[in-house]
Amino acid sequence: MDFVIKNASVISMAEDDEIDSNCSIVVRDGIITALGREPINEHPERVIDGTNLVIMPGLINGHTHSPESLAKGISDRSTLTAWLKKIWMPLDELKPRQIYIATLLCAAEMLRTGTVSLVDHFRQTPMTPEAVEAVAKAYSKSGLRVVIALMLRDIRQYESQTLLPAPDQLALVAKAHRQFSDPDQKCIFENIRIGVGPSGPTRCSDDLLEGAGEISTRLGLNFHVHVDENHQEAEEAKNRYGMTATQHLHQLGLLNPSLSIAHGVWLSNADIELLAEAGSTVVHNPVSNMRLGSGIAPVSALLSREVPVALGTDGAASNDGQSMLETLKTAVLLQRVGGCKQEHWMTAKEAVSLATTVPAKSFGFHNGQIGIGKKADFIAIKKSGYSFTPQNDWYRQIVFGANGLDVRYVVVAGKILLEDGRITTFDEDAVLAEAREIGREIFNYN
């Protein structure tokens, strides 16, 4: 549907960013075709009053795991290794229908808190075509733009894991790409792209890592991998390789702009230099890192070397939510208590760029800004609520005070996915009800 929002405030996040008030934004065929204070001569199908709205680029979640939406609040006072075993053994047993509902549950929370695009480091062990189809169908239903980075591993974390041979896992990625995201094929899911997502260097053989790199280059896929999530993982890499995980990836020829690493909490200065030279992205997950006691990522050092830094929620089992608004606030405040000098503290405006313009480029979403000719991927936040009363500074009040209660509209590819606080693409109440039943079944709670 073509539409116009009139008399809104607009935060464009463009290079010459100015916050305009009493602005109109016209959307046609998924593209912003007009923007400004001048009278709009076009006559779209629908006009929305934006007097009480501030429009900004939609947020981008650089790292999550959709099945974990069923495992909120399951494990407390656990570090990563113990947590993984408790959470993922039952989640790896999910049936396709349960994966579909878990993914919609994840999508619903992101929609309600202003996310328009995400990277789902999708895990099922062993990975199956049926599982991939379930997650792809759910995201297609939601309307969100998604990179589904299929998680690969061929080294067991615990005895009972069933793992496919590396060639079979890579073949599954290639097949999923042809089915869901190959531009040369007639793909029915236009908002879905497949990525390749090794779990972590120490959970994959070098053959699997190199195979993932080859398929990423050959098919043009995003390469997404956990690196140095906690101190134990960092030490394990040094013991296995005689060098850090990042240095090992470099030795294998895998550092490049298509690579994104999740967490990077224990990166060394030498690692940061390698990432800067390669143009690889680090996805900072501050809430999850605190929840599991993993540490504080060297965000200031990364930014000072101009390493692209994006933000992520991580999965809901290590976050208990999927709010990028919460992530924005936590990322800024955590840096300030992590030993960073005051003159290097991240500003609120810089933080917003880590959830919009930076990941839009890193992950190939090509959104992240509002302007004529840009994709119509944006959110509209209520101005009259507590977060913006009184209105003093848009960026600071978005980062430090906004929450999901303020998000009224979410637009992706010109389609209104959240309209006046109501999800339009699927039955949210039905998803919530079925998710409760699945949760009772897999975790045996009352």
Whole-number pLDDT of residue 43: 73
Q: pLDDT by residue (tens digit) across 335-344? A: 999 888 999 9
pLDDT at 377 over 90: yes
| 370 CB-near residues (< 8 Å, 6+ apart) | 10, 11, 12, 13, 14, 25, 32, 35, 55, 56, 57, 378
Q: 416 forms bridges with which residues in the sheet?
A: 411
Whole-number pLDDT of residue 39: 67
- Distance between CA atoms of 187 and 405, rounded to whole angstroms? 35
**Helix/strand/coil for 117:** strand
CA angle 295, 368, 383 (to 5 degrees): 90
> Is the full-model pTM beyond 0.85?
yes
Q: Where are the domains of the chain?
A: 3-57+367-423, 59-362
Contact present, 47 and 432 (Cβ < 8 Å)? no
What is the chain's mean pLDDT, rounded?
94
CA angle 365, 226, 89 (to 5 degrees): 110
Whole-number pLDDT of residue 20: 83
| Among 266, 264, 263, 308, CA closest to 288 | 263
Whole-number pLDDT of residue 44: 75
CA 78 to chain centre: 24
pLDDT at 81 over 90: no
From first CA to last CA, the distance across the chain in angstroms is: 43
CB atoms closer than 10 angstroms to residue 174: 16
User: Do the domains 59-362 and 3-57+367-423 match in fold?
Assistant: no
Q: pLDDT by residue (tens digit) across 125-149? A: 999 999 999 999 999 999 999 999 9
pLDDT at 33 over 60: yes
Number of H-type helices and E-type strands within the chain: 15, 17
Taking phi over 0 as left and psi of -120 to 50 as alpha, with beta for the rest, 179 belongs to: alpha
Find the mean pLDDT for residues 86-92: 89
| 49 CB-near residues (< 8 Å, 6+ apart) | 5, 6, 7
- Distance between CA atoms of 294 and 204, rounded to whole angstroms? 21
Q: pLDDT by residue (tens digit) across 252-296? A: 999 999 999 999 999 999 999 999 999 999 999 999 999 999 999
pLDDT at 369 over 70: yes
Instruction: Work out the pLDDT band at 308, boundaries 50, 70, 90.
Output: very high
- Distance between CA atoms of 149 and 37, rounded to whole angstroms? 41
Whole-number pLDDT of residue 445: 56
Q: Which of 215-219, 343-347, 401-405 has the highest mean pLDDT?
A: 215-219
**CATH number corresponding to 3-57+367-423:** 2.30.40.10
**CATH number corresponding to 59-362:** 3.20.20.140
Identify the residue whose tokens are 């070098």.
206
Residue 326 DSSP code: H
pLDDT at 446 over 60: no
pLDDT at 365 over 70: yes
Q: pLDDT by residue (tens digit) across 196-255? A: 999 999 999 999 999 999 999 999 999 999 999 999 999 999 999 999 999 999 999 999
- Distance between CA atoms of 79 and 129, rounded to whole angstroms? 31
Q: Which of 17-21, 296-300, 311-315, 424-428 has the lowest mean pLDDT?
A: 17-21
Q: Which of 174-183, 187-196, 302-311 has the highest mean pLDDT?
A: 302-311
Instruction: Work out the pLDDT band at 46, boundaries 50, 70, 90.
Output: very high
DSSP 258-325: TEEEEE-TT--HHHHHHHHHHT-EEEE-HHHHHHTT-----HHHHHHTT--EEE----GGGTS---HH
